[in-house]
Chain A
C-alpha cells in the first residue's frame, strides 16, 4: 500500500509587465525541496514556457530571488517546509522592479542605481603601484567588511517599502555598496560618493524600517550602512560650512 504523496498548490504570476495573470499548479511535495526546485518542476513537467532565472543553485550568484508568499527570498536556499507549512505557495517576480516575463524581473533599474550611487570603485592606484595593505583592524575597514558579502540578489530592494513609494530612491543595496567603498582605503573619491548619495533619491529618504536587514539572505545590514552615510553626509556638510 502506498500513500498518496502530499501535493503543493502553487500559484505563479505569469505574463509581462502590465499583463500579468495568476496560474495555479499542482506540484508533488518532497521531504527536501527548495522553492527553486518547485519552480523548476513546473517548467520541466507542467509548462515549459515558464520563464525564471537562476544559475548557481547554492546561494552564491544572487540571480534566483523571487517573492514567495509575499516575502522576497533566495529561492535556491529556501526550503518549502520553512515557508509553506500548509502546502500553499504563492510565487511572483521580485517586487519594485519591472517584469520581463513570468518570474524574471528586469534588474536594470536596480543596477542603474548602483551606478547612480557611485557604488563602483574609483581607483586610487595604477598598475605599477604597490598593493594597498588591507588590515581588518582599522575601524573603517571593519565597517567596510560588514557589507562586502552582498551578492546583488535584489532581495533588500524588493523588501523596501521606501523604494515602493519613492521610485527615485536608490535603495539599500546600492547605498550599502557606496558605504562599503566610502570606507575602503583603496577608493579615491569619497566626496564623489557622498555627493551621489545626497541627491533627491539619496540615503536621506531611508526611514530605517529595516526590511533590508530583515530579509537579507546573507544577514547583512544595509540600514546600518545607510545610517553611516547619513551621518557622514551631515558631517561633511557641516565641515564645508565651517571651512567656508
Chain B
C-alpha cells in the first residue's frame, strides 16, 4: 500500500516541514497577543516574497504529506484499496494544494 516512492515522499515532505512548523508556531505565539485581525495578518504578509516562499513551500509539502497520510489511514482503518485509494490520495492532495495556493496568494499578493 505504501511503496518506497510514497514512503520517501512522506518522509521528505516531513523533513521540509520541520523548520516551517517551528516558524509557524513561533509566528502564532508572536501574533496571537492582543487578538488577530485581517488587516494585521495582511500587513505582515502582503507583498512579502519571504512569506510567499515560506507558506508556498509549506502548502506544497503539507499537501503531499496529508494526502499520503490519509491514504494510509483510509486503507488501514477504512478498508479502502486499489483505484479508490489512489483516487482519494490524488483528490486530497490536489484539493489541499488548490485551497492552499488560494490562501497563500490571498495573503501575500499585494
Interface residues of A (CB under 8 A from B): 162, 164-166, 168-169, 198-202, 204-205, 230, 233-234, 237
Q: Between A and B, how many residue pairs show CB distances below 8 Å?
A: 36
Known: A165-B77, A166-B76. A237 touches B8 (CB 8 A): yes
Known: A234-B8, A237-B8. A202 touches B3 (CB 8 A): yes
Any A CB within 8 A of the CB of B1: yes
Name the contact of B76 in the complex, choosing from A162, A199, A230 (C-beta under 8 A). Answer: A162
For B79, give the chain A residue with the smallest CB separation. Answer: A165
Complexed CA–CA distance, A128 and B3 (Å): 40
Interface size on B, residues (CB 8 A): 12
Residues of B within 8 A of A237 (CB): 4, 8
Complexed CA–CA distance, A216 and B2 (Å): 25
Cβ B4 vs Cβ A202 within 8 A: yes
Cβ A205 vs Cβ B8 within 8 A: no
Cβ A166 vs Cβ B1 within 8 A: yes
Across the A-B interface, give the 9 residue pairs with the lowest CB-CB distance, nearest first. A165-B76, A204-B7, A198-B4, A204-B2, A205-B2, A166-B76, A166-B1, A200-B3, A233-B4
Any A CB within 8 A of the CB of B6: yes
Any A CB within 8 A of the CB of B44: no
Residues of A within 8 A of B72 (CB): 205
Complexed CA–CA distance, A150 and B63 (Å): 40
Complexed CA–CA distance, A162 and B2 (Å): 12
Residues of B within 8 A of A169 (CB): 1
